[in-house]
Amino acid sequence: MEYDAIVIGAGLAGLVATAEIADSGKKVLLLDQESEANLGGQAWWSFRGLFLIDSPEQRRLGIKDSKELAWQDWLGTAGFDRENDEDLWARKWAEAYVDFATGEKRQWLHNMGVRFFPVVGWAERGGYIADGHGNSVPRFHIVWGTGPGIVAPFERRVREHIKNGFVDYRPRHRVDELLTNDGAITGVAGSLLEPSTAARGEDSSRTIIGDFEYHSQTVLVSSGGIGANFELIRKNWPSRLGQPPKDMISGVPAHVDGRMLSITENAGGRIVNRDRMWHYTEGIKNWNPIWSKHGIRILPGPSSIWLDATGQRFQAPNFPGFDTLGTLEAIQKTGL
């Protein structure tokens, strides 16, 4: 095998995985359909609130948090209720993540130079009953430097591994197929896209100038979500929210296309919870768009008034920052 591992996607998930695998002395191939200008993916554009539990920042503000409370909130928000074990791994992952966020996560990031804004935000606070949706306490720890501030240490680590020969990073390599043999994944095949001078986030060319095939026993798909693929969003729209809106805008660049999902499924991957999607309702069209249909979210001031399509104030707790899907449900009921 040419590589110990192949990582598809050089967003934050791909960078973290690549850095950690290469740290253990393994050789990694990191592929991304976009150019090097997009290294870090969506995370670079993000506000970068991080989920930490019972942190020094919370304690300094007098916020009493605990692993038990965070787990209760997680259960209330996730609503693990699917049949056929569809939630099995999501639940196991959630347990491990709550452990991580209570334990080593903050120190791990701190050791890489990540620092946090002293005021902890309160995103998705819910506002229903104690074991319902939302965070019972503020847990949104904002990284100094926001999105670029969280990408930087992982980019630094990956670049270090590129220099010492443990990581091969190949931008403009779009994976089109996961190769299999006897039911096991053996590698990837795809198209080499023409070089792009588009700036970070801008739509890039899809002209193919070649193809590739690489082999490894370990292939990690970290190709991001479906946010820019309105067709896929409409297809997987949750039934409880009625019809999908006629017009949508996108908080993510066009390359967040969800294309790898069906490619993974075709190779035997199990895709679950397709209809569990996240939408911010406080978005407006960016007056100076970087990508197609660029939408940005407005962070509400304390005195803002939010009205539905009929001019009525939203009912509590459907205010910005409380329960975005609950608000979406209310909007869907009053008109598009």
Least separation, in Å, of the C-beta of 220 and ligand FAD?
11
Least separation, in Å, of the C-beta of 225 and ligand FAD?
6
Least separation, in Å, of the C-beta of 335 and ligand FAD?
26
Site mask for ligand FAD (CB under 6 A), range 260-279, x = bound:
x-------------------
Contact between 233 and ligand FAD by CB under 6 A: the answer reads: no
Contact between 11 and ligand FAD by CB under 6 A: the answer reads: yes
- Residue of 251, 320, 321, 326 interacting with ligand FAD (CB under 6 A): 251
CB nearer to ligand FAD: pick between 49 and 321: 49
Contact at 8 Å (CB) between 125 and 322? yes
* Interface stretch with ligand FAD, choices 65-73, 216-224, 283-291, 314-322 (CB under 6 A): 216-224
Contact between 252 and ligand FAD by CB under 6 A: the answer reads: yes
Q: Dihedrals φ, ψ of 47, to 5°?
A: -75, -30
Residues between 45 and 104 that touch ligand FAD (CB under 6 A): 45-49
Least separation, in Å, of the C-beta of 50 and ligand FAD?
6
What's 116-177 look like in SS3?
Answer: ECCCCECCCCCCCCCCCCCCCCCCEEEECCHHHHHHHHHHHHHHHHHHCCCEEEECCEEEEE
- Residue of 5, 6, 13, 185 interacting with ligand FAD (CB under 6 A): 13
Separation of alpha carbons 121 and 299, rounded Å: 12
- Residue of 3, 6, 7, 14 interacting with ligand FAD (CB under 6 A): 14
Contact between 172 and ligand FAD by CB under 6 A: the answer reads: no
Contact between 259 and ligand FAD by CB under 6 A: the answer reads: yes
Contact between 138 and ligand FAD by CB under 6 A: the answer reads: no
Contact between 32 and ligand FAD by CB under 6 A: the answer reads: yes
Binding-site ranges for ligand FAD (CB under 6 A):
8-14, 31-34, 38, 41-43, 45-49, 174-175, 222-224, 251-252, 255-256, 259-260
